[in-house]
Amino acid sequence: MPLLEKVSSNRVSTGTLTKYKFPSAALGGLSAQCNVFVPAAASRAAPVPVLFYLAGLTCNEDTGAQKGGFLNTAGEEGIAVVFPDTSPRGAGVDGEDDDWQLGTGAGFYMNATDPKWAKHYNMYDHVVKELPAVLKVAELGLDFSRWSVFGHSMGGHGALTIYLKTPELFRSCSAFAAASNPSRTPWGINAFTNYLAVPAPAPGAPPPAEWLTHDATHLLSSSRADAGALRILSDYGGADQFLANGQLEPAALEAAARDSGHNGVRVRVHHGFDHSYYFVSTFAPEHVRFHAQFLKA
């Protein structure tokens, strides 16, 4: 198991935000970085709950930590927050830096199966398996038996799909402006066509089954969880430019929750808000408290 190497550390809220790096097997041996906020009260004897924040396209491990507005509330609630990166860095894959919607900064929190990408682009394994294991070995005072996940945009997609695939690992999930139905929207179609070894369907044809396992709306519709067992809060802004151009599709997620009887799923619109971190930071305290009610139960 690789050991964390401290890169930097800053006092914030009731604790410390530390940037670490380590060689990532999931990312093909590349160096991976993350930020970890730990309240001062955390210890091996008294570990605290953990909340993972997944950032969106073009972002990195610093974005949510610096702009999200999560840490004061997390500190007050005694919750650690982990900020992974959004993709491998420096993989050398041809074209990975040509399109902001694919490659560097755009890992989509999935494991690639196309041989071009499969060696390095395994962000699902990195976030769900590798990073928790490395953090446990580091003995930072984190309690992964009390673990929740949230994210923004592409990271909202990541949070929703990770939670819906493995609800037994997490207490709750929330999202800001999530890409909620990516098998039918431009961001997802672009990502899935490239990362997965499955060709795009003909126009008007349904998405391939291999794509649907990375689509939150489909995963929610097909979930076998008991009614009320899923704890999801998904917010979006009514003035979001990516809502207007069909990238987010929150109505599809809301319909899936309603039609499948998952009454623990809430989808809310906030009129006048756009896609930016002005929106995220406005509702950040509420989201942290949403998770706190389950993490501290």
Active site residue 148: no
In this structure, are residues 240 and 177 in contact, taking their beta carbons and an 8 Å threshold?
Answer: yes
Among residues 87, 148, 153, 174, the one annotated as catalytic is 153
* Cα separation, 140 vs 162, whole angstroms: 23
Active site residue 153: yes
* Cα separation, 30 vs 10, whole angstroms: 25
DSSP letter string over 91-109?
Answer: ---TTTTSBTTBBTTB-TT
In this structure, are residues 111 and 119 in contact, taking their beta carbons and an 8 Å threshold?
Answer: no
Q: For residue 84, which of 159, 9, 1, 163 has the smallest C-alpha distance?
A: 159
Among residues 126, 262, 275, 287, the one annotated as catalytic is 275
* Cα separation, 24 vs 30, whole angstroms: 6
Q: Residue 142 contacts by C-beta under 8 Å, 6 or more apart in sequence?
A: 38, 42, 47, 48, 50, 80, 82, 135, 136
In this structure, are residues 263 and 49 in contact, taking their beta carbons and an 8 Å threshold?
Answer: no
> Which residues form the catalytic set?
153, 240, 275
